Amino acid sequence: MHVNEIHVSVLNRTLFNLNVLLLQTELLELFHNGKRKKFFDVWIENLTKGVRENDSVAQKLEFYLNIYFAVYPMKFAKGQVIN
């Protein structure tokens, strides 16, 4: 492997890691702000259909995410006291 090929490989991994970090940051921000529709738009755009349909961990996570977003308006209502 030539030096240039090594640099390109390192650069590609760095860009991939940066993209993953940006995606994680976006998803966490949407999650914490209760932005269900946008969260799942990004989720579906970045998780393949095969993973969403066949991976039991992804299915469980998506199930619990739906519960979180269903409860979010009640738990984090702005300007309202909810018992």
Q: Is 83's pLDDT higher than 50? A: no
Q: At 8, list the tokens.
A: 């390109």
Tokens 């650069």 map to which residue? 11
Q: Name the percent of the chain lying above pLDDT 90.
A: 66
Q: Is 23's pLDDT higher than 90? A: yes
The sign of the torsion formed by the CA atoms of 50, 51, 54, 58 equals negative
46: Cα within 13 Å, side-chain hemisphere: 14
Domain locations along the chain: 3-75
Angstrom CA distances, 52 to 12, 20, 35, 57, stand at: 26, 18, 20, 9
pLDDT digits (tens, 9 = 90+) for 27-40: 999 999 999 999 99
**Confidence at residue 82, expressed as pLDDT on a 0 to 100 scale:** 47
Q: At 18, list the tokens.
A: 């940066």
Q: At 47, list the tokens.
A: 């998780």
